[in-house]
Structure 1
Amino acid sequence: MNKKHIKKAYIFAAVLSLVLYLAGIFTGFVVQNSTLKYTEKKVASLQRRVENLQLEYIYLSTSNDKFNCKFLSALLDDTSKDMWLIRDELVKLESNPKNENSYNYQELKREYSLVSTRAWILNSVTKEKCDESVVVVLYFYSVPCERCLEQGNILDELKSTVFDSKLRVFVLDIGVDEPIVKTLKSTYLITETPSLVVGNQTLQGFVNKDMLRDLIYSKLE
């Protein structure tokens, strides 16, 4: 092969590499953007459901009809499960550094935090009114935080393999700039992450699986 052909081969290889690189970036952007929009729709749907649940609660509390705890509890349980699944999607999105300064992503986290707070309050109030045998947990995390990921995995495992619908977990990023998040941090004296509010008990820092499992069992007794 002469020098002219070698030069052409190098140029072709360079152009091909550039095309593949740009194609990879474009594909990644499209997938990322699609995932973000899909999660946005899920959060919006959850927001409507929680708002409807609030109306259901107010109606059942003020009407002459007997308060239907079983009906409301089933709706709350389904909502809490969906919120936990969406939390997993948010964690995956958080792992991409490109989302750190993304306005759409930050707004999505803000909306999710507000919905999560509303659902947590509604679950806590319903638990007391209906004397439900469930444990409601508010989980505070931050980004980046390796221990937070580990704590989230423990909660995942306990919910899926041990407690199922008996454990309802709601998640808050302490970095979200919302008054209600600041109020909850102050009320429960949250100074580090991960932190858990189990019932009315605050647990600062990482909690291992055995200790958390035993605590949840004690709350169910």
Structure 2
Amino acid sequence: MVEQMRKMSVPIYIAAFVISVLIFAVGVYVGNTMDAVVKDSISSDLQSVYAKAQSSELLILLEDSPAFCPVYAEEAGRMDDETNGLGTRIAYAEDVRGISDPELKKQYFMLEAQAYLISKKVKEQCNDGSDLILYFYSNQNCASCAEQGHVLDTIRSSRNDTKVYSFDGDLGSSIVTALKNQYGVTSYPAIVVNGQVYNRFVNGEELAGILG
């Protein structure tokens, strides 16, 4: 009787194993498909916003009359909002869904640099009072980068006239390398406040004093 029950149990165990494998395989497939959809959606939106950025920059280059400054400021604000929104989506994809795509981040950094350059032109041509901060960090060997990021998040949320643009210095992005070379970034964390570089951690109190 016991032997008969054992013989009956074997097919059940095999069936349960097969079902488990199938469920796992379907889960992996669905997960990968959803990840691909998320990346494609972000990439498509990146290209769309980047095209708008090029149009905005062309407008500023072609017409530098102060009469157009309200238009430029509006375009710069829109660019910053859309860029920040994409940055939030990429961070969520990485931190929550575990989606890591270096090429997608490089595209984002190109867009972020474009948004910074537009804001910089508006600041120079229209006497705009916004403070512009570039933040260079490393995810590999930087003990204080996370803390520097928190300081900048606090500053940005408490000051409406402060814009922060963050870049991973180890990703191998050509535009990030160009910005680092332009401002003399030599270590992480590093911040550039209105063109002045600080190759070290800057706490909240000191940064508030720098911004005035």
Q: Report the TM-score range of the alignment, normalised by the length of the smaller protein.
A: 0.7 to 0.9
Q: 2:154 aligns with which of 144, 153, 157?
A: 157
| Identity among equivalent pairs (%) | 24
- The residue number in structure 2 matching 1:71 is 71
**TM-score, normalising length: structure 1:** 0.80
Distance 1:154 1:6 in 2: 61
- How far residue 97 of structure 1 moved from its aligned partner, in angstroms, is 6.5
Structure 1, gaps ≥5 residues long: 100-104
Change (3 A) 1:74 1:117: same
- The residue number in structure 2 matching 1:102 is none
* 2:108 is the counterpart of 1:116: no
Structure 1 window deviating more from structure 2 (105-114 vs 50-59): it is 105-114
Structure 1 window deviating more from structure 2 (23-32 vs 145-154): it is 145-154
Distance 1:25 1:34 in 2: 14
Distance 2:33 2:150 in 1: 29
Alignment of 1:50-199 (within 5 A): 50-61=53-64, 66-95=66-95, 99=100, 105-144=101-140, 147-160=144-157, 162-164=158-160, 166-199=161-194
Which residue identity is paired with 2:39?
L
Distance 1:55 1:26 in 2: 44
Structure 1 window deviating more from structure 2 (33-42 vs 200-209): it is 200-209
**TM-score, normalising length: structure 2:** 0.83
Instruction: Say if 1:141 and 1:148, in contact at 8 Å, map to a contact too.
Output: yes
- The residue number in structure 2 matching 1:3 is 6
Instruction: Say if 1:84 and 1:169, in contact at 8 Å, map to a contact too.
Output: no
Distance 1:206 1:19 in 2: 50
CA RMSD, Structure 1 to Structure 2 (Å): 2.5
- How far residue 207 of structure 1 moved from its aligned partner, in angstroms, is 3.0
Instruction: Say if 1:46 and 1:79, in contact at 8 Å, map to a contact too.
Output: yes
Aligned length: 207
Which residue identity is paired with 1:169?
V
Structure 2, gaps ≥5 residues long: none
* 2:28 is the counterpart of 1:25: yes
